[in-house]
Amino acid sequence: MNIALVTCESLAQYAAPNVDDEDSLLTRYLREQGHSVEPRVWSNPAVDWLRYDVVVVKSPWDYFDRVAEFYQWLDRMQQLGVRMLNPAATIRWNADKKYLLEMEQAGVRIVPTRLLPRGQAVDAAALLSDMGPDRLVIKPAVSGGAKNTFILTPSEAVQRQPYLTELLQHEDFLAQPFLPRIQEEGEWSLLYFGGQYSHCVLKTPKAGDFRVQHYLGGGIEPQPAPSHLRRAADAIVAQFAPGCLYARVDGLDQNGELLLMELELIEPFLYLEAGGPAAYARYEAALRQLVGEK
């Protein structure tokens, strides 16, 4: 296959020094299997996307800083009829974390989530009182890498009010209760290729933090997927990720059930090294199957 591997202008600002360059490792593996692979920046207007058999969206990690431009690019790819994995419509849906509310309506257990619409006045103290816990996590609906994500506590509600009001002038936000489970055990990530389970890691925040991203000091440990989490994640991927090359189900093991934090269908780190050679092989096999190659 002739593959365009979609990336962004600067991966370095989103990656930690102690994390392998997954894009380079994946590119090398696919080339060893006989494929032609060329990294291509999504925002480069000079790229001829139609010259590729398939465009694999791997790491457009700056999309949330230029989301209108990113949506225009997705529209253009659809208009051109470019074969994309994951599909452009799925990526657009998944870019805005309001999809969690849609999944909840479909019966998926999610971390309790409240939409804070852009331009709407929100009383921080009242929000805390209404949602119950002593701490809330506030995050943009379109975001990545914990950008503009912060903890809101009763003692800080008045102080943080102007900051929250200012943020809401520009974009939608989500409010979620802070769940101690993420510090007690960590966040589970189950990886799927072509709809089939591949491997699993447990991500833990550094001491005193709640963010598990590796470039913020979080830990990553390969783990067998607990069977009850695997069953729930299998069902989520089957329902919400048809036709996808990759999917990552992020969640907490809360009272013996998967509590979904995110379904990553747009540009997740895939922890391929944690999955070992078999993970690379599953990825390439799923790619061949979806493109129609034997």
Confidence of residue 179 (pLDDT cuts 50, 70, 90): confident
Runs of H (alpha helix) within the chain: 22-32, 67-80, 88-95, 99-105, 124-131, 157-167, 181-184, 227-240, 272-275, 277-291
* pLDDT band of 275, cuts 50, 70, 90: very high
Residues 166-176 have pLDDT tens digits of 999 999 999 99
The verdict on whether omega for the bond into residue 86 sits within 30 degrees of 0, i.e. cis, is yes
Is the predicted pLDDT of residue 212 greater than 50, yes or no? no
Picking from 12-16, 23-27, 113-117, 176-180, which range would have the lowest pLDDT averaged per residue? Answer: 12-16
What does the pLDDT read at residue 16? Answer: 55
CB-based contacts of 213, cutoff 8 Å, min separation 6? 145, 146
pLDDT at 136 over 60: yes
Please report the beta strands in 131-237, taking only residues with DSSP state E, as ranges in sequence order.
136-140, 150-152, 173-177, 187-193, 196-204, 219-222
Question: Which of 83, 87, 45, 41 is CA-nearest to residue 61?
Answer: 41
Residues 99-128: tens digit of each pLDDT = 999 999 999 999 999 999 999 999 999 999
**pTM for this model (two decimals):** 0.91
Which domains, from first to last, does the chain contain?
2-95 (3.40.50.20), 114-177 (3.30.1490.20), 181-276 (3.30.470.20)
